[in-house]
Amino acid sequence: MLKLNILKMLYKNSPMDFYRYTECNGTVIKSINNTSLGYQFEKMFSESELDNIWGIIRLHKRISTVLIFLFFVTILYKIIFPNYALLLNSNLNLSIIAVISTIILVYLGITFLSTKIFEKRLEKVFGKFERVRFVKNNDINARYYKIFKTELIKVGVLLVSVFLFISLESPVKKANNALSQGQYKKTIRITTLGSMVFPILPDWYSLRGYARFQLGDYEAAIKDYDTAYHLGTDYFNTMNFDNKIYIKYFLKDYEGAIKDFDTEIKNADGDYERDSFLWDMAQFLYNVNRYEEALALYNELLTKADSDSVFLLKDRLYLERAQIYQMLGKDDLAQEDLINSGAAETLDNKLDYIPKPVLLLKEL
């Protein structure tokens, strides 16, 4: 019984409960957008006339709904998604207020025009009317109530179907499975479609970048990893930047990689993030045989290690700098760094502490 009452309450406030007869043998038609507004005619509408009005209501509601949906999609894909990173880094509250205000204003504009056109159509077909308050009708029309329940069932089935489809295997999981099986072209198809539907998810570009690299499309892979990096916000986001650097290392575009490091160091959000990029850059410089430049960065990092003991591991920095000293032929300084690090090793063998660039794949 409670369920039935709730359905009737929803029905009375929906466009489907769109008419009522008055005591003075008149008919009041509910406005399509303002459920408290009615248009009173001085005659009793026949069943065929009510069917005609219902057809007009349905047409206008569908047109206005489609227009609002298309506008929302335009806002989403032309303004929000392309400028997602910029919106996050700027005044987020003002950005949200501006976007919501725009959506509300356009929504009100579309519904206002739709209402005016609907009123003109009613007046043209059925004559003059008087604007009145639409009072809820206790005599629920069985025919339209049945249609209302049918429409609810359709929407419910659609939502359940979409939920089951997503819960069985998400598109990201499907792309990851294809990638793990070496199906790179399939991975690209899935992630490209996903990026069109929800383009602010970094995983699309990260997975596609990996697949494109395996197929030899290096420039496109760099672009994908760059997009994933600028969209990402979690811990694994650094992986996308490192993968972009790896591809440039693979292509021997060392200057391009160093330029990327310089940009991130300049725009770093705090000392910890800046130190992270400096350390990565020092390791990169070592791997491209630019030892003097790498040494300068390690010297800088070691002077900051006491104040940043959480991120800058002093023992590790000594070990890596010892490796650079060894490559420069400064064995005494290298041995001194090994002692400072607390390591038991000597310079009898070539030191191997600085990692080489590698292409990583995030396990989802």
Q: State the pLDDT confidence band at 226, using cuts at 50, 70 and 90.
A: very high
- 238 dihedral zone (left: phi>0; alpha: psi -120 to 50; beta): alpha
List, for residues 56-105, the tens digit of each pLDDT value.
888 888 888 888 888 887 877 777 766 666 666 667 677 778 778 888 88
Q: Answer whether 79's CB lies under 8 Å from 60's CB.
A: no
Q: Which of 120, 136, 152 is the last residue of a domain?
A: 136
pLDDT of 364 reads 37
Classified as helix, coil or strand, 234 is coil
pLDDT of 218 reads 96
Q: State the pLDDT confidence band at 167, using cuts at 50, 70 and 90.
A: low
Q: Which of 88, 116, 136 is the last residue of a domain?
A: 136
Classified as helix, coil or strand, 273 is helix
Q: Which domain holds residue 105?
A: 18-136
- Number of domains composing the chain: 2
Q: Is the pLDDT of residue 1 over 50?
A: no
Classified as helix, coil or strand, 50 is helix
Q: Is the pLDDT of residue 5 over 70?
A: no
Classified as helix, coil or strand, 198 is coil
pLDDT of 240 reads 92
Q: Is residue 335 part of a domain?
A: yes
Other residues' Cβ atoms within 10 Å of the Cβ of residue 228:
26
Q: Who wins on pLDDT, 342 or 9?
A: 342
Q: Is the pLDDT of residue 327 over 90?
A: yes
User: Which residues are registered as beta bridge partners of 39?
Assistant: 29, 131
User: What radius of gyration, in Å, describes the C-alpha atoms of the chain?
Assistant: 33
Phi, psi of 29 (to 5 degrees): -100, 135
pLDDT of 85 reads 64
Most distant CA pair in the chain, distance = 108
Q: Is residue 194 part of a domain?
A: no
Q: Which of 136, 152, 180 is the last residue of a domain?
A: 136
List, for residues 234-258, the tens digit of each pLDDT value.
655 788 999 999 999 999 999 999 9
- Give the chain's mean pLDDT: 84
